[in-house]
Structures are given as C-alpha cells and as structure tokens.
Structure 1
Amino acid sequence: MKHSDLKNLTVAIVGAGYAGAATAKALSLLGADVTVYEQATQIREVGAGIGLRPSTMGRFRQWGIFDAIATVSSPSDYFEILTATGEPIMKEGWPEIEAYGAKTHLIHRGDFIDALVGVLPEGMVQCGHKLESIEDKGDRSVLTFANGTVVEADLVVGADGIKSVVRQQLFSDAGPVFSGERAYRAVIDVADAHGLAVDDNLRMYLGHGTKVYVLPLRHRNQVSFDVTSLCPDSTWTPAVTKDELLAEVEGFDQRIVDITRDLDMDSVNVRAVYDIDPVDTWHSDSVALVGDAAHSMLHHQGQGANSAILDAGALGDALADADSVKDALAQYQLVRKPVTDELQRISRQGWREDEVNDVFPGQKPGSQQPQA
C-alpha cells in the first residue's frame, strides 16, 4: 500500500499479549494509526519461560527492538532431550541461527510482555476494554466494548487469544479443545535447581506420560521448571496437592524430584492444556486473526509465541506490499496458515501411543472436545 494510504489507516488491535503488542509495533512502523485494546486493567503475564527462535529475533532486529529483548533474556546454543533419569537421547543446535544471525533467546513471559509493550508509544495500549461484539461492515468494522466504548476502524486485528471473541463471532464458533494434558509451571531460583542449571540451554526429560522442561533464565538468576503430563481432568485451573505433583515425577532424576519436593505450591501455575482446531479462514476484508486467536497450539514445539511474532511480521509485510487491506489480508493468510497448520498438527503428536492408551483407554485425548 502507498505510504499515504498506510498513514491514513486506522487499526484497532484486540488484545495486548505477544501477538497484539508485536502487531502494534509492526503496523505502527508502517505509519498506521494503531490502538491496542486490552481487557485487563493492567498488563500482567503469568507463567514461566519460553524460547524466542532466531527468526523471531530477526524480526525484532528489523523492527529496531532487538536490544530491548536481548537485555532481558539469555542467548542459547542448543536444546537437549534426555530420559527421565538423565541419559542423553539427542542434543541439537537451535535451527536458523546462521540464517538470522541470532541465537534462540530464553526469556520469562512477563519480561517478554513488558519489553514488547515498553517499545510501543505511550497511550497506544488502552486497558480495561473487554470486547463484547464486533460488526464487520466490509471495508470497516465496529467494535463494542463492555465499558461502553464503540470503535470503528479500517482494520481490526483479533489478537485476543485462545478464547478469541473476534474468532468466535466472525470465523468459527468452535471453542478450545482439551488436549488430555496438564501443565505445572514454576519459576525457581538457580540455587534451588539442585545443579540442573549449568548453562543457558533447554533440557527436556522424557518419562512415561510425563515430560519435564528445565529452561534456565540465568540473566535473572532463575530457572523455569515445567512438568507436563497426560491427564483426563479437563478442569481449566485444577487444585493440585504436592503429593499429586510428586507422583508425576516419580522415577525421574533425583534432582527433579528434589526440585518438585521443594516447590511452594502457591507459586505453581497449574493448567489443563488446550488448543484449537485449525480455523479455515482467518480474515475478512477488514478483520484478521493473529497468534493464538488464529492457531492456538500445544507447547511441545515451543512455537506459540514465536508464531505470534511471525504473524505480526507477515501481516506488516503484506500491508506494505499489497494494493489494499483486502489483498493484504488474503496474502497474509496465504503465507502464514500453511505453516501454523503444520505446527498445530505436529504439536498434537507429543506422546507415544502406549502412553496415551494408559491414560485414555479406547479413545484419543481431546476426542470429546470439551470447552473450558
């Protein structure tokens, strides 16, 4: 699109998570008039650590915010997969390092959100705006929020996560799908990691029906500790005891057992794990989905946040190259949807058949598709 057209383009982004903040940065750099509407009264991200791949860091360099992210993260050379008791299975360098001239960076989710929002112009993010409805008028769309605010924009970007209102009202009314998994996540001090945090590289320990991820955050002298296990309980935020969590790591490396035994359960984030089925269409002529709203996926490939950033970059590229918003949104989906469809598919293949059969005899996890 011409610079003059982009400068006159009004963009309303719903959601100030990874996808929304990154999209705001990408589109504001084109000169568009961007506002982000976030339902929370303040920006706050819970959870643990993630890895930002070289392609993602490459986008940050393109946007001029590489240093803002690098300052609050640790560069990592490789990841390692081990048995439950610590015997090596494979060790592999992160892909794309040479192509993008950057390593994978390990970062806490909260630091990541703070850094992304921190590089946006003051006032661009408007908190306390919970979306109630969206009306697609073709070349423009109208948003109505619970606080009474009504916004009309040339382009609306739904970055409102796995329970996206934008997606469910315009593109698919299907809700989140239970994966048959539960994740327990905590951030602990390096001193409490019983010697497992020896460098800046991710390690995954594989047990029967349980995986343990140890992701160092040594720039903040901490470790992200994640236990993911097969589980038939679809309760979104279940109450779990220390003994129940210890049972999940029985037979693992003693250091993992010791870390688990030392955890303060009040600091452990416990969630049933959900994703969504692939959505056939992500866009209309004036509305597009990005991030989890478009393609929420399981965390086994570590690609959720990375996909959100690459969505933002691809949307920005499409708007810069196409003749109209309509053409740009079609091009954006053409570029990104095949990639994320495949990542969603692969992420659902995180368990061996015998493991699944032990927990879900006679059926596949998620086959009943309960909604949270």
Structure 2
Amino acid sequence: MHAATCSARLGPSVSLTNLGCKRGLPHHRGGSARLLPRQGRIKGRNTKCSMSRGGDDAEVDVAVIGGGPGGLAAAFALIAKGLTVRVYERSKAVQQVGALLSLFPNGLEALHKIDPTTYEAVLGKAEPPSSSVRMDPRGTLLGPPGPHPFSAMEGKYGHPFVNIIWYELTDVLRSRLPPGTVHLGHRCVGFEDAGAHVAVEFENQATVKARMVIGADGVRSVVRSMLLSDGPPTYTGIMSWRGVFDSDADILTPSRQASVTSGTDKGGPDKLFLAVDIQARKTAWVAFVLQAEDPSETPKLSDGAAHLDRVRSLFSDWEAPLLHRVLDATDSARVLPLGIFERSPADTWSGGRVTLVGDAAHAMQPWLGQGTNSTFEDVHTLAELLAAAGGPKVLGDRSAVVSVLKEYESRRIPRTKTLQSWSQSTVLRPLDQPPPPRATQFMRSAEEDDWMYTYDHAVLTSLA
C-alpha cells in the first residue's frame, strides 16, 4: 500500500478502567521517566492504573517515539505494510536549523527498498559533491581541488554519496505520510507493557495504546532509559556547531565541499571546519572542536547569537577567508550546537512489544557518517520482518512479536556493533598526539568498505 494513499486508522478512546495494567503507569517528575512501583489492594479492591487524559486517547498498531529521519522512515515503511502508525515528536515546531547529513549507498539502498519514489524525492533535495578541497587554517590549499573521494560510489555500489540538510530530509519523509500521522509537542514520559498492548503517556497528558512501540528518540532516548536502564550516553569530549544559510551562488566555488583543518603529520587536528554547497541553494557547515567541559554548560539552543560568537572565538586565530565568509553569511538563528555523545554497544534493544532503532539503539560518533544510514537499515529490516510474519496480524500475538524482535536484533546488532567500534576512532585529537592506526574512515581495507556500504536485510553478514 502506497503511503500517500493510506490513512491512519484510530481506534476508540482508551478506557482507563480496561488497560489491564499489572502495575502503576509511568509517572513524570523533574523531566525524567520512570515506572511507578506495583500497586497493592486498597479497601479490598484492586487499584486502577492511573493515566492522565489529555485530548483524544489513541489506539494504533505502532506508536513511534521520535520524529527525526528514523522515526518518520519507520512510520512510512510500516504504513506501507498495512499497519496503522502514529509518530510522537517532543519538539513543538520544526526548526530550520543547520545539520548536515551524508547519505551513503547502504542507507540509500535501504530507503530505495522502502519506497523508490521517496528515494527519488530525497535525492532531489540532495547533492553528490563532485569536487572537494582541503586547506590549512591560513587558507593555503593542501593540494589542488579534485574529485570528491566518494564520487565513484554510485558506479561501484549502485547508489551515490550525497549531502542533504537534516530538515529537508525530514520534510520529504513527513510529506509522504498521511495527514494526522505526526504529532508535535508530545514528550514521552513513560510506558507500560500490559501484555496485549503498550500504554504510552506524554508530558502533555495525552496517551496512546499501541500494539508495538518503537523508540526512535535519539541518543538520550527516554524509551531506552526505561527499557535497558543503562544510564546516560557518554560525552566524547568533542563539541560541534552546525549552521546553514540560503545562497544564490556557490559560495565554495570552484569546489563543492571544503574542509579547513589544523592537523599536521605530527598530531591533531584539534579543530575541523567543513562546508558544503547543496544545489546552489544552501550552504551547510559544521565545526568540530575538542572541548572537555560538559556541553550542557553551553548557552541554550535559543541563544543562537551566543553560539555563533562562540564559533567565531574558537576559530579567531584561523585566517582562512572561506571560513569567515561562511560564518558571516550565517543567520545566528540557524546555528545548532551539538555535543558528540555515544553509547556502548548493547546486546539487546527490545523488551516485550517495545524496541529501538537508530541512535536510541546504537548511537555512534559521526566520523563514518553512518548514523542515519544505519537507521534506515534498521527500519527496513524491521518492516520486512514484520511483514513476513503476517503484518498487522502478528501484532495480536505477543509471543510472535517477541520472536520478530529477536530476529530483528540478530540481524542488526552484530553489524551496528562493528560500526560503533569503527566510529570510535576519532578524527580529532590534540596537536601533540599523532594519529593511531586506522584512525579515519580512509584507512579501512577495500573489503571492509564493501561490507559497510553494501546492505541486504536478507543476508546476515559479519566480518571474519
């Protein structure tokens, strides 16, 4: 069933007296999510599960927590398999702030298998950089502009390497969903697996009863924290800022991608600045800096001017004209600070009717560019396994759902563990620290690259 012709089917309102919970429902306090302890008997009768009502309580096959690329792609893939889906995103509005994403052949192959027309729509907003240039902090070229190192990928793997703006990718995916699928301003504060369904509660007092819940809520996933209880993600000591601005001309001419780096053959780099032109419409950039302090101490997201000033200060001793030209063209309201966090590989992502995809399951450092790509692989694999097991019918049998999710883990966890391990070989390091062996994505073997950039959900692959 094509997503554009589907409509979300919402069931009757959830009755607070027939949820069948075995213990207290999730409760929100101080911004964290937790399960209340098991309720006992009071005055000779069972206490009822307490769930706040807010607006219409929904009944749906799958509730997806998180409205980023992974959550939206999951909704699209599952609706195409005949399931009813709702996506719940904590943000109250979609912001056009800067975040550059790179899509590699493996992620694009997964997206193409989900839906070829959506794949084409995404490519229509993206660009394969045909050339690139590297320079030092003074702006001196470290070699002439040349073909981008990934420009030959389409011929080898069947799909190109492309760059795209985060919010343009999510706009495309969101536009493919039926009206009413995505609900903004819904911050998940807890869930209860009641056997036949999962009851999910949100900070705005809305509730949903779903036969499956997918946590696609990122590196600080609330769903994961309740499911695995494995603590917060780890800060890597690297801070980044992302920016984007509209441009009528190619500001990076004659190249399509430019990087400015402080490294030498003796050590570093401790800072990196990358800028990319997207179809002569927009220029996106990202600045990476070694920063030991906790990024929670940086100014709040709304203080864009402070973030842009911070980037200017950190790179004030760099004379490269291109860097300052890019920063001068950037509206401070479109600057996004992002600390780089990661998680240790987990042996399981699921529990009962609940599972994880993307950064919620396997957050990794950005140097491989595999975050979104591996997420698309997760989504396609899960959708295909659910469809093969019976589609909507399988959700009526809890043991069958558990079996599908175990198979999903067996196909995805070994691969993502390897990607997480490779991504830990950071590109940034102090200027007096030489690069370790296999420090960057350009130092893998051809066989390892083939393994990473090739995706087939039906084939269990591992590196010997």
Q: 1:99 to 1:157 in 2, by over 3 A?
A: farther
Q: Does the 8 A contact of 1:242 with 1:261 survive in 2?
A: no
Larger radius of gyration: 2
TM-score by length of 2: 0.67
Q: Is the 8 Å Cα contact of residues 250 and 257 (structure 1) preserved in structure 2? A: no
> Are 2:291 and 1:231 equivalent residues in the alignment?
yes
Give yes or no for contact 1:13–1:156 (8 Å, CA) kept in 2: yes
Deviates more, 1:247-256 or 1:50-59: 247-256
Q: 1:325 aligned to 2:401?
A: yes
Q: Distance in 2 between matches of 1:197 and 1:224?
A: 14
Cα distance, 1:316 vs structure 2: 1.0
Alpha-carbon offset, residue 75 of structure 1? 3.1
**CA, structure 1 residues 182+87, in 2 after alignment: closer, same or farther (shift >3 Å)?**
same
Letter in 2 for 1:106: N
Q: Distance in 2 between matches of 1:115 and 1:356?
A: 44
Tell me the CA shift for residue 99 of structure 1.
5.7
Q: 1:114 Cα shift?
A: 0.7
Deviation at 1:313, TM superposition (A): 0.9
Q: 2:86 matched to 1:86?
A: no
- In structure 2, do the counterparts of structure 1 residues 94 and 171 end up closer, same or farther at CA, with 3 Å as the change threshold? farther
Match of 1:350 in 2: 426
Matches within 5 A, 1:1-372: 10-44=61-95, 46-62=97-113, 63=115, 64-77=117-130, 84=137, 85-88=140-143, 92-93=149-150, 96-98=153-155, 101-138=158-195, 140-190=197-247, 195-200=251-256, 202-207=257-262, 208-219=269-280, 221-236=281-296, 237-238=298-299, 239-240=306-307, 242=309, 245-248=312-315, 250-251=317-318, 253-260=320-327, 263-322=330-389, 324-351=400-427, 354-355=430-431
TM-score of the pair, normalised by structure 1: 0.82
* CA distance in 2: counterparts of 1:21 and 1:309, whole angstroms: 10
Summarize deviations over 1:75-121 as a string: whole Å, max 9, x none: 34576666554314995225752465321222111111111111011
What is the CA–CA distance in structure 1 between the aligned matches of 2:383 and 2:217, rounded to whole Å?
18
User: % of aligned pairs identical?
Assistant: 28
Bigger proportion of residues as strand = 1
Any gaps of 5 or more consecutive residues in structure 2? 1-8, 12-59, 263-268, 300-305, 391-399, 435-464
1:203 to partner: Cα distance: 4.0
Q: Distance in 1 between matches of 2:210 and 2:249?
A: 50
1:366 corresponding residue in structure 2: none
Q: Is the 8 A contact 1:79 1:93 kept in 2?
A: no
Inter-partner Cα distance in structure 2 for 1:289 and 1:121:
23
Give the letter for the 2:365 counterpart: L
Alignment partners' CA distance in 2, 1:149 and 1:101 = 44
Say whether the 8 Å CA contact 2:133–2:255 is kept in structure 1: no
Structure 1 CA distance, aligned partners of 2:346 and 2:102? 25
Deviation per CA, 1:51-97: give whole Å up to 9, x if none. 22222223333313122212222234576666554314995225752
Summarize the Cα distance change of 1:83–1:319 in structure 2 as closer, same or farther, 3 Å threshold: farther
What letter is aligned with 1:217? Answer: I
Distance (whole Å) between structure 1 residues aligned to residue 211 and residue 152 of structure 2: 38
CA distance in 1 between partners of 2:213 and 2:284 (Å): 35
CA distance in 2, matches of 1:79, 1:277: 33
Instruction: Give the counterpart letter for 2:163 in structure 1.
Output: L
Distance 1:55 1:265 in 2: 34
CA distance in 2, matches of 1:78, 1:285: 48
**More deviation in 10-19 or 236-245?**
236-245
Q: 1:140 to 1:66 in 2, by over 3 A?
A: same
Contact 1:209–1:356 (8 Å) recurs in 2: no
Contact 1:172 1:279 in 2 (8 A): no
Structure 1: runs of 5+ lacking an equivalent: 1-6, 359-372
Secondary structure of 2:110's counterpart equals helix
- The one-letter code sitting in structure 2 at the alignment partner of 1:213 is L
RMSD between aligned alpha carbons? Answer: 3.1
